[in-house]
Amino acid sequence: MLFRATGGVAAFVVMFAASSAARADEGMWTFDAFPTAKVKATYGWAPDQPWLDRVRASAVRLTGGCSASFVSGDGLMLTNHHCVQACVQEQSSADADYITNGFVARDRAKELQCARQQAEVVTAISDVTARVRAAIGQLTGPALVQARNGTIATIEASTCTDRETTRCEVVTLFGGGRYALYRYRKYSDVRLVWVPELAAAAFGGDPDNFSFPRYGIDAAFLRAYENGKPVATPQHLTWNARAPQPDEPTFVIGNPGRTLRLITADQRNVQRSLVLPFVVSFLSEYRGRLITARAQNAERFREGFEELASVENSYKALRGELQSLNDETFATMLDAQEAQLRSSKTARLGRGAGDDPWQAIARADRVYRDIFYDRGFLEQNAGFQSTLYGYAKTLVRAAAERDKPDAKRLPGYTQASLPLTEKQLLAAVPVYPWLEQLQLEFWLSKTREYLGADSPAVKRLLGRESPERLAAALVAGTKLADPAVRQALFTGGMAAIRASDDPLIRLVLANDATARAVRERYIAEVDAPISAAQARLTAVRFAAYGTDLYPDATFTLRISYGKVAGWTERGQPVPPTTRFAGLFDRATGQEPFRLATAIDRARSSLSPATTLDFVTTNDITGGNSGSPVVARDGSVIGAIFDGNLPSLGGTFGYDASVNRSVAVSTAAIEAALQTVYPAPALLAELHQS
Amino acid sequence: MLFRATGGVAAFVVMFAASSAARADEGMWTFDAFPTAKVKATYGWAPDQPWLDRVRASAVRLTGGCSASFVSGDGLMLTNHHCVQACVQEQSSADADYITNGFVARDRAKELQCARQQAEVVTAISDVTARVRAAIGQLTGPALVQARNGTIATIEASTCTDRETTRCEVVTLFGGGRYALYRYRKYSDVRLVWVPELAAAAFGGDPDNFSFPRYGIDAAFLRAYENGKPVATPQHLTWNARAPQPDEPTFVIGNPGRTLRLITADQRNVQRSLVLPFVVSFLSEYRGRLITARAQNAERFREGFEELASVENSYKALRGELQSLNDETFATMLDAQEAQLRSSKTARLGRGAGDDPWQAIARADRVYRDIFYDRGFLEQNAGFQSTLYGYAKTLVRAAAERDKPDAKRLPGYTQASLPLTEKQLLAAVPVYPWLEQLQLEFWLSKTREYLGADSPAVKRLLGRESPERLAAALVAGTKLADPAVRQALFTGGMAAIRASDDPLIRLVLANDATARAVRERYIAEVDAPISAAQARLTAVRFAAYGTDLYPDATFTLRISYGKVAGWTERGQPVPPTTRFAGLFDRATGQEPFRLATAIDRARSSLSPATTLDFVTTNDITGGNSGSPVVARDGSVIGAIFDGNLPSLGGTFGYDASVNRSVAVSTAAIEAALQTVYPAPALLAELHQS
């Protein structure tokens, strides 16, 4: 399954991003710059503006880090099973284990709320580059960042004044080369309609993840509500339960989360030699701890499912990225592209008022290396995956930030972003104490390991305690699992925070000055100079290659084009589609290759020839999970849920010969709804459209 | 603590090894090539031959992967706590927890046998290069390896005919540039005399490991026995419980296990981009699984101690190696050294009869990369750390190999090496089923992850089972934990093996053909060409720099010279010694910074000014653990137990400015024996000498 776009695991590796001209099928294009001519030249046809407008209006961003699309007039959304796992996990209990058994809402009243999820549809895009640039002027350092973030906050707050139903977001593209204002219609009540059994959705589990041939029905349906009723979505994709045809053109509309294709060779070196080796090793140990802890009893096994699935997915994706950067051929190709640009006539443009942008970035990278662990453990990923620590940090920060004018607040606490922050903070979701303790213990012990037992910051966290004892005491003592307690602290503001004796609030307060200091150093010495240099690099690129370039992924709406096509691996052709017959062949009876119970039961009524999954050349990445695969006629024929192993290097560069996206076909979902998990009402709704 | 020289964890990273001239204090020198002139020039004094002969006769190799020295006339040996941890673990139970409480033998009759340990003292070294070279002649590929290994087996078997008390070993130096026959007096009955509490030996635990200032009493005493009596060791070092003096010359005599200083840039690239990233991530997950499994109850916590300590130590050492190769300054320096040699006038010598040796090695490395995971999971590290799998593999291999003539057997099964193999196979030591299951499950699941669920080799191992279920069934079903069962299978040879229905024997048999095939491919396409190329590279080096070079470490006896000296870290001087006062300051009350119970009790009688640990410039690495630090007068003033963090890059190159070895002082051990763990008889024995 694809790397979701957000969350603590991913956050460690996010830097910025600021290529050469795109090759065939390459690119995650913004809707205001679709490469019509190129698509027409390649496929003999290209979408016109009404076509683009229609699919854009049907495309959904899920704030949990995924994509989706409306597929009925009543707010029904198609996405992936792994995009709703957290919700299914929250709604499950020993008596109602929807992870294992799947879930079908018998009627709309039985649809289950996903408390932390929000659906967002782009309604307008406008270029605000001039306004942000004017605010930045000749500023540098923290002043640059302050001016940039302040202007962004002001634009967002002043454009979307109705924050109940709209959200505004200024998106930084080309690492600061362009700024675009995205206006969204938002739906903050999202409910679960249907998921298959885990064994059907994730057949093959971690061994099959990021590989193909593949046999998973990684699909789910959600529904957007407003005022307790399904929202009317007249603009939606037509459900088309037919098999994909070899070489037919396909369009994927979704929200790719993060690519690093425009970073410099120096930045890639930081990833290859520091960031990725650290994260891969760090996640490995966490994975090991989780696997063993989860195996202790049936309850933990169920409760720990989503967390382990998520970490295994991230681990595999990031390990693939590291392998791609350690591949000499790939690395040499990327470096050569940069060398070509750097030696081009236009490179002098980059120097502009300042010095060489490549050198400026390399200088900033030296600071980035110096503060990498401090920033990671104390600020960016403080508390690691602990939900409770996250609550405490949000509460402490929200109290401080809400006392400031909007333009001076930290991102996430501005007027425009607070509604989602608040929704996620106050959502009533279960917390598993054993998991929280494991996460806090792991974070504290790794913080000590990487920063050193003698680090003053570590001493402020641990005092004379061990990570094991402190984690146990924090989980035993905190009351933050209770939404009412969080609500009171949120409402009470800084006075309530200061008066609180909650041990997690105290811990976050003890760490906060250090955390803010490393954040500020990062802003002044890394973010600001890289931002300025990347704006100059974008000018160089535009001058060298024209402005028909796509920016790096930013978890905002993009469209990619391509076709249904397999590839060649070690001299053997990999066909582009799989069928139910292949699933039956591959089943061993043991996890994760066990045939799902309901599929086994319905086996005789399933046609072995029905297409299950398929691959296309569309250029996608994590965050695209759940994206509709749209045919030329605008109908949906699948949902993206993964990439193949070679696509992991796609973070740094796209290779059309081997990079493939993996989708579950609407034909397979239709078969599942017909005979495996009978859902006649849902089918009727899909076909009504 | 230093990386021990042997064992499964280390085995993944071992390749071969084949520099420029050594700088001040650099080098792990063989006793037949001590750089007397260089030492004299640096220190104004150098040991003469009688001095060297004396210390050599006192120096001990412990087959568990460590070093030691005789320090009394009755076979008493000084080594490290972490070198005897496995033995202490084996001897411990809930009622007698010697790990936690330490152990002092009240009298010699109470000394505890370390069933798998053997002590070995070099008695003669002779050059057999000509004989091995003559056998190799112009052979290539498997024939080269066969001729080489066959000749080595013949030399060993014919020289040491008394295999009860002697052992012969032909050591490959300079990756095949030289061959030396080492003759050992061996003592296969080794007993535990004294160890402190773990909290004293390993104060600071993993956080302090590979760092300095340091406050551990990582010391232990063993005794060599023969025919039930302590052996007489008239040649031993004089115990000298004085503090080390700044800048005084020090000599370290021991068995460094593995350095890779003579590998080519291409081989370093294999380490940096493939081997080390894999091993670091692999060990991380194993570490995570162990930490959580061990924390489940007090019994597992005790039983899992040695395994976790060992894996954490390996992890930290290997991560340090990877970091050093990812350090651009360090990597550039190493590459420049190679470039200089390669462009030298003598480089043409390397081409000799064949082609360029650097290119030949790079070609072999491509095969090495291709078969790395197959070889690692199916042959070299099959079963990973599982003791039971190791028994099964040894039994299956021994049965097959003993039916062959000596010269055709696999290493480890020749007449010369079988006695130690047999001793380790038949030793009665406890096996912990939960740990075995964890290890087998981890190995099986990672094998599937790296080789793929569709690999025929994986299918031969797993059939239709999951790693979890198969591991549980293997541990529940095998009888190999019983030494009598192992003895019967060993004695019964191939007939008994074939007749066995033990599930682990069946599993090893099922895997054996694949395992042998990948081994043979490695020999033919990696070992043989690299061996031939490295012999030519050695000729180039000798021609360029003279023959006063030291070979890479091979877990055979070496001597290094240096002095007591701190270093400068981030502009701050690190003093060369620590005292008990520092230990008291650093204690927090919580593991692993808890003051040992007995030290706390004896605190008032311990002088805070007594030297605890110290650092020297001696060039050492894993396997040197337990090595005596010998003063100019031939007395012992400490035992090496670690290196500092910068010393981890020492695997690839020595940097005199920051590379330091860490030793526990005899003064600290003496204080411990006097007041903390009163051992008057032991003290008397030490002072008698």
Collapsing DSSP to helix, strand or coil, B508 comes out as: helix
**What is the chain B residue with the closest CA to A297?**
B296
**Confidence at B20, pLDDT banded by 50, 70, 90:** low
Cβ contacts of A423-429, under 8 Å, gap ≥ 24: A423/A116, A423/A118, A423/A188, A424/A116, A424/A394, A425/A391, A425/A394, A425/A395, A425/A398, A425/A486, A425/A490, A426/A483, A426/A486, A426/A487, A426/A490, A427/A115, A427/A116, A427/A483, A428/A115, A428/A483, A429/A90, A429/A115, A429/A116, A429/A387
Q: Which of A197, A235, A265 is nearest to A596 (CA)?
A: A197
Q: Do A449 and B207 touch (CB under 8 A)?
A: yes
Residue of A288, A295, A590 lying closest to B287 (CB–CB) = A288
Show Cβ contacts of residue B644 under 8 Å, excluding neighbours closer than 6 positions: B210, B211, B212, B567, B615, B658, B659, B660, B662
Taking an 8 Å cut-off on Cβ atoms, the answer to whether B590 and A285 are in contact is no
Distance of CA B467 to the CA centre of its chain: 30
Which residues of chain A are within 8 Å of residue B207 when distances are taken between CB atoms? 448-449, 452-453
Model confidence at A6: pLDDT above 60: no
Indicate yes or no: CB of B281 within 8 angstroms of CB of A284. yes
The answer for B 222-261 residues in CB contact with A (under 8 A) is none
d(CA B629, CA B611): 15
Question: Cβ contact (<8 Å) for A274 and B589?
Answer: no
3-state helix, strand, coil in chain A (%, to 5): 50, 15, 35
Higher pLDDT among residues B18 and A146, named by residue: A146
Q: Any CB–CB contact under 8 A between A297 and chain B? A: no
Average pLDDT of the segment spanning B196-214: 97
- Which helix (H) or strand (E) element contains residue A59? strand A59-62
Instruction: Read off the pLDDT of each residue in B627-639 and give the average, rounded to a whole number.
Output: 98
Q: Which residues of A touch B588 (CB under 8 A)?
A: 464-465
Return the pLDDT at B17.
38
Calculate how close chain A gets to B319, using CA atoms only, in Å: 9
Chain B interface includes A438 (CB < 8 A): yes
Residue B12, pLDDT above cutoff 60: no
- Give the pLDDT confidence score for residue B560 in this predicted structure: 98
Q: Which residues contact B587 (CB under 8 A, 6 or more apart)?
A: B203, B593, B594, B595
A4 band by pLDDT with thresholds 50, 70 and 90: low
Residue entry with tokens 């608040």:
A422
Question: What's chain A's average pLDDT?
Answer: 95
Which residues in chain A are closer than 8 Å to B452, comparing Cβ atoms? Answer: 207
For residues B526, B532, B538 and B539, what is the CA-based torsion angle, rounded to 10 degrees?
Answer: -160
Q: Which of A206, A446, A461, A466 is best to mutate for the B interface (most B CBs within 10 A)? A: A466
> A254 — phi, psi (to 5°)?
-175, -165
Q: Is B3 on the interface with A (CB under 8 A)?
A: no
**pLDDT (tens digit per residue) in B35-70:** 999 999 999 999 999 999 999 999 999 999 999 999
pLDDT in tens, A73-89: 999 999 999 999 999 99
For residue A370, the chain B residues in CB contact (below 8 A) are none
Reported as a pLDDT band with limits 50, 70 and 90, residue A18 is very low
In this predicted structure, the answer to whether residue A475 has a pLDDT above a threshold of 50 is yes
Beta-carbon separation of A208 and B589 below 8 A: no
Of A204, A277, A287, the CB nearest to B326: A277
Express as a percent the part of chain B with pLDDT over 70. Answer: 96
| pLDDT tens track for B260-307 | 999 999 999 999 999 999 999 999 999 999 999 999 999 999 999 999
Residue B7 vs residue B86, higher pLDDT: B86
- Counting DSSP H helices and E strands in chain B, the numbers are 28, 21
Q: Tell me what the mean pLDDT of segment B457-485 comes to.
A: 97
| Predicted local confidence at residue A687, as pLDDT | 97
Among residues A306, A12, A18, A201, the alpha carbon closest in space to that of A672 is found at A201
Q: Cβ separation of A280 and B277 shorter than 8 Å? A: yes
Nearest to B466 among A277, A469, A590 (CB): A590
pLDDT at residue B347, rounded to an integer? 78
A570: pLDDT confidence band, cut at 50, 70 and 90?
A: confident
Provide the pairing of β-strand A567-569 with A572-574: antiparallel
B569 touches chain A (CB under 8 A): no
Distance from CA of B439 to the nearest CA of A (A): 12
Instruction: Please tell me which of the candidates B285, B295, B588 has its beta carbon nearest to residue A464.
Output: B588
A332 in reach of chain B (CB within 8 A): no
User: Is B633 an interface residue toward A (CB < 8 Å)?
Assistant: no
Strands B59-62 and B178-187: unpaired
Q: Which of B653, B88, B657, B682 is nearest to B331 (CA)?
A: B653
Q: How far is A592 from chain B (nearest CA, A)?
A: 8
Residue type, A606: L
pTM: 0.96
Residues A294, A290: Cα–Cα separation, whole Å: 6
Q: Give the type of residue at B581.
A: A
B453:A593 CB<8 A: yes
Smallest CA-to-CA distance from B424 within B402, B465, B399, B395 is with: B395
Q: How far is B660 from chain A (nearest CA, A)?
A: 19
* DSSP state letters, A541-554: HHHHH-S---PPP-
**Averaged over A628-646, what is the pLDDT?**
97
Work out the widest C-alpha separation in chain B, in whole angstroms. 72
pLDDT the model gives residue A19: 47
Region B91-103: mean pLDDT is 95
Question: Region A517-522: what's the mean pLDDT?
Answer: 97
Contact A293 B290 (CB under 8 A): no
Question: What CA–CA distance (Å, rounded) separates B370 from B634?
Answer: 50
Query: What Rg, from alpha-carbon coordinates, does chain A have?
Result: 24
Is-contact B369 B48, C-beta < 8 A?
A: no
- B207·A448 Cβ contact <8 A: yes
- Section B460-479 average pLDDT: 97
Query: d(Cα B72, Cα B93) in Å, to the nearest integer?
Result: 30
Distance (Å) of CA A425 to CA A306, A487, A509, A510: 19, 8, 18, 21
Quick check: B438 contacting A, CB < 8 Å?
yes
Chain B nearest-CA distance from A339, in A, is 19
pLDDT score for B21: 59
pLDDT at B8: 47
Of A622, A606, A673, A558, the closest CA to residue A209 belongs to A622
Query: What average pLDDT does range A19-24 have in this prediction?
Result: 63
Residues of A within 8 A of B469 (CB-CB) are 590
Please indicate whether, in this complex, the C-beta atoms of A284 and B282 are within 8 angstroms of each other.
yes
Where would I find the H helices in B221-356?
265-270, 276-294, 298-303, 305-325, 328-342, 347-351
CA-nearest residue to A269 within chain B is B326
- Give the closest-approach CA distance of B584 to chain A in angstroms: 14
pLDDT of residue B24: 79
Token pair recorded at residue B453: 């669920």
CA atoms of A19 and A48, how far apart (whole Å): 26
Which A-chain residues 339-378 have CB contacts (< 8 A) with chain B?
none
Q: Is B247 helix (H, G, I), strand (E, B) or coil?
A: coil
pLDDT over 90 at B445, yes or no: yes
Neighbouring residues of B647: CB distance < 8 A, sequence distance ≥ 6: B210, B620, B621, B659, B660, B661
Do residues B650 and B643 touch, judged by C-beta distance below 8 A?
yes
Q: Which chain A residues are within 8 Å of B206, Cβ to Cβ?
A: 449
Name all contacts of B103-111 with Cβ < 8 Å and 24+ positions apart. B103/B192, B103/B194, B103/B195, B104/B194, B104/B677, B104/B678, B104/B679, B104/B682, B105/B191, B105/B192, B105/B193, B105/B194, B107/B681, B108/B223, B108/B230, B111/B191, B111/B192, B111/B193, B111/B223
Q: According to the model, what pLDDT value does residue B344 have?
A: 85
Q: What is the pLDDT of residues B120-155, one digit of tens each?
A: 999 999 999 999 999 999 999 999 999 999 999 999
Pairwise CB contact (< 8 Å): B589 & A464: yes
User: Which residues of chain B are within 8 Å of residue A592 when distances are taken between CB atoms?
Assistant: 466
Given an 8 Å threshold on Cβ–Cβ distance, is A285 in contact with B280?
no
Rounded to whole angstroms, the Cα distance separating B117 from B79 reads 13
pLDDT tens for B233-266 read: 999 999 999 999 999 999 999 999 999 999 999 9
| Letter string b/e over residues B328-350, b meaning 16 or more CB atoms within 10 A of that residue's CB | eebbeebeeebeebbebeebebb
A468 and B295 in contact by Cβ < 8 A? yes
Q: Which of B286, B449, B465 lies at the smallest CB-CB distance from A590?
A: B465
B235 near B632, Cβ under 8 Å?
Answer: no
**Residues in chain A closer than 8 A to B284 (CB atoms):** 281-282, 284-285, 288
